[in-house]
Structure 1
Amino acid sequence: MKLVAICTSAVLSVIIPLSNAVAINLGNLKGETRTEYFSPYGVRELCVVPKKWPGAAYRSDDTSKESTLCGYDFYRTVGICPKYNSTNPGVLLLAPNASYSKEAIDASDCNLKKMSVKTEAKFKQTITCSYTPSILAYYHMSRILGGVGRVPVSVIRTMDLKVHSQLTNKAVHALRDSTDTIAQAWRKLGEMHLNPRAFPQLVDTTFTQLYGGLSDNVKNENVYNDVSGRGTYNSRYQRFLKQKPFLKVASTKTVAQLVGSGEFTRVAQDVIQMKDVADMVLIDTLMNQQDRIGNIHYKFYWYSINPSTNRIERSKSDAELVDGKIVIPAEEKRQMAGRTAVVLKEMILKDNDCGVIKDNMMRAYSVLEKVRHMSYLTYRYFMAFEKSLAAPATKDYFKTELLFTDKDYRSLQDNASKAKEILTGTCRTGQLKFDLDLENYLPGARPPLTPCSN
């Protein structure tokens, strides 16, 4: 049960060997808030909300989502099931309903295809392609760069090893005939439970708890095949570079030339999509992302101009893609009648666990060097952040709040230094166009001066 909340200011090796890995000391985790729970075996579990980066563009609902994540009690409020699909194992937090109580969910075989329950959050650890600091850091890096990628909120969570062992046994049994990577990973987790001291990247110093990143689960999203394309896993990055969205980002033409218009409703989707792609390239370059292409999603949103303020307003849409065409609910059309408005695809980067210590695929394919369009806001946020990386306080933040190792931080510094060199170079030679801020396409808007940064 909940004890207390204390406020303070794919396809790789199954278990990742970290030469400098040490079990985590839970007493060192302070964060902004620290919520504690007791497991059925008397182990005091933790949920810690890392402190926020000063000056970052956190969303208005980020804090409430952090509170929601740390409000999930594994033993009272949500059902818990092992994850059987995809590559990386994890624990799914499932919302009970009239058909399945928490007790029924926990007692089930966790075949979600048969159950009408919603996944509220995912709890993942350092295993297969997954790395806990990557899960945590992507959320904060997204906000540090101005909100790029709309990355879901994540917090630090722990779980009693005895409870996790029971879930592991359930997964091993369910996947007993499978040779997939996720089945192999669950079996390896079974070995971890027999000798947790041999797996310091997964457990705390008392060897009673497993720790990882707990992330909000985005619902009703769609796979963004426009950006990823379709094809084999091994050709995913070569394929991405040939898709229309990236070709536009790499084009020497202006947005107006590419679209054939500068009018808001005609240009909005291209600007948002191009910004999303360029932002994704930058954050993945910084974060050593290995498994992005094919793991990109989107949701529909209305973008409209408020006639009184001449500002852009954004609201959810229940539009659907049917046979390649966007079908908009009639009620939404009535609500937007008479306004300058358009339904757009917004990118969501929800799968962010395969980074930081992985192969940097964006750098391997020199993708940032090919970018010719960028949001000036993103550019400015990045340049300010890159400058801060030399400060001891920045390193302390990433190590204390986001669980980076010294090696992780050096990698981030190196990636940021390289990204700065590339972007300032293309900016100074006039190759980089800052034309991906949609506000600049409002009627009567005058694009601001966009000097290159040092």
Structure 2
Amino acid sequence: MADARPTKAILGSTQFSQENVQALVGMRDMSEMILIDYLMAQSDRLTGGNISDYNFVYFIDGDHVKSVNAHKADGVPANAVKVTVKKLTIKDTDAGLLNSNVFEQKGYISQISHMHPDTYNRLIAFAQKWKEDPTVKEFFHKECTLSASQLARFEKYILTAANTLQTRKANGKLLLDLDLDDYFRPATSSSPTPSP
């Protein structure tokens, strides 16, 4: 996650292979886990036993890479190019905003060099909505039962994460290069068509 080279340089290939799909899925899982654990000060993730994985089948369907839980892969077209990889699942998220933020102390957000563009864009939109729309804070207070001090901490983390990642992106230190469709899309020629 901290390797600043583009994913194509890290992986060395754009072949739709188990190794490449696993690397990209793992990088996305890790960046998203770091982000959510930073936002929620979820420090007990580091004690182990709070993460697991599921097998997913990833396959090419036209110009898109799709995925389905391996237990439900019967519907994947028989002739589709497919691979099975492990996808992260988070367990035990009951210590959010209760302890010190180890992810903040270690500076993990400022070390993320790769994200999925949707994750980044949703974070930025969420931070903006948090600042502008008081009903968002009210929802987290009433429906998520966050206390006033937890809301203040969460606000600090969401705004800091958005600012840090926006700055890293603007400085070329954060690449939004974990989209499987983009990564495995065949290169299209941009050279001009020869004249007759």
TM (norm. structure 2) is 0.86
Matched, 1:285 2:27: no
Query: Matches of 1:315 and 1:263 in 2, distance apart?
Result: 20
Q: CA deviation at 1:407?
A: 1.0
Query: Matches of 2:39 and 2:94 in 1, distance apart?
Result: 14
Q: CA deviation at 1:405?
A: 1.1
Distance 1:298 1:388, change over 3 A: same
Are the equivalent residues in 1 in contact too, given 2:177–2:183 (CA < 8 A)? no
Query: Matches of 2:22 and 2:15 in 1, distance apart?
Result: 11
Query: Which of 66, 83, 89 is matched with 1:313 structurally?
Result: 66
Query: Matches of 2:82 and 2:52 in 1, distance apart?
Result: 22
1:88-144 deviations in whole A, cap 9, x for unaligned? xxxxxxxxxxxxxxxxxxxxxxxxxxxxxxxxxxxxxxxxxxxxxxxxxxxxxxxxx
Query: Which of 251, 256, 265 is matched with 2:8 structurally?
Result: 256
Query: Matches of 1:421 and 1:339 in 2, distance apart?
Result: 41
The DSSP-based 3-state class of the residue aligned with 2:44 is coil
Q: CA deviation at 1:343?
A: 0.3
Letter in 1 for 2:112: V
The DSSP-based 3-state class of the residue aligned with 1:297 is strand
Query: Matches of 2:11 and 2:78 in 1, distance apart?
Result: 24
Q: CA deviation at 1:445?
A: 6.6
Are the equivalent residues in 2 in contact too, given 1:256–1:262 (CA < 8 A)? yes
Query: Matches of 2:35 and 2:20 in 1, distance apart?
Result: 23
The DSSP-based 3-state class of the residue aligned with 2:96 is coil
Q: CA deviation at 1:315?
A: 2.1
Query: Matches of 2:39 and 2:25 in 1, distance apart?
Result: 21
Greater relative contact order (Cα < 8 A, sep 6+): 2
Query: Which of 144, 147, 153 is matched with 1:405 structurally?
Result: 147
Query: Matches of 2:108 and 2:89 in 1, distance apart?
Result: 20
Once the two structures are superposed, the pairs formed by residues 113-262 of structure 1 within 5 Å of their partners are: 249-262=1-14
Query: Which of 49, 59, 63 is matched with 1:304 structurally?
Result: 59
Are the equivalent residues in 1 in contact too, given 2:14–2:184 (CA < 8 A)? no
Which residue of structure 2 aligns with residue 268 of structure 1?
21
Which residue of structure 2 aligns with residue 393 of structure 1?
135
Query: Matches of 1:253 and 1:385 in 2, distance apart?
Result: 28
Q: CA deviation at 1:337?
A: 5.0
Q: CA deviation at 1:438?
A: 1.1
Which residue of structure 2 aligns with residue 363 of structure 1?
104
Letter in 2 for 1:376: P
Query: Which of 415, 423, 426 is matched with 2:168 structurally?
Result: 426
Which structure carries more helix by proportion? 2
Query: Matches of 1:445 and 1:285 in 2, distance apart?
Result: 36
Q: CA deviation at 1:336?
A: 6.3
Query: Matches of 1:337 and 1:260 in 2, distance apart?
Result: 28
Instruction: Report the aligned-residue RMSD.
Output: 1.9
1:367-419 deviations in whole A, cap 9, x for unaligned? 11111111111000000100111221011101111111111111110011211
Are the equivalent residues in 2 in contact too, given 1:439–1:445 (CA < 8 A)? no
Which residue of structure 1 aligns with residue 83 of structure 2?
342
Segments of 5+ residues of structure 2 without an aligned counterpart are 189-196
Q: CA deviation at 1:357?
A: 2.1
Structure whose alpha-carbon radius of gyration is higher: 1
Query: Matches of 2:107 and 2:24 in 1, distance apart?
Result: 23
The sequence identity of aligned pairs, in percent, is 27
Q: CA deviation at 1:425?
A: 1.5
Letter in 2 for 1:250: A
Distance 1:415 1:445, change over 3 A: farther
Are the equivalent residues in 2 in contact too, given 1:298–1:345 (CA < 8 A)? yes
Letter in 2 for 1:439: D
Q: CA deviation at 1:267?
A: 2.0
1:22-43 deviations in whole A, cap 9, x for unaligned? xxxxxxxxxxxxxxxxxxxxxx
1:242-271 deviations in whole A, cap 9, x for unaligned? xxxxxxx10022211111101222521111
The DSSP-based 3-state class of the residue aligned with 2:173 is coil
Q: CA deviation at 1:288?
A: 0.9
Once the two structures are superposed, the pairs formed by residues 43-82 of structure 1 within 5 Å of their partners are: none
The DSSP-based 3-state class of the residue aligned with 2:113 is coil
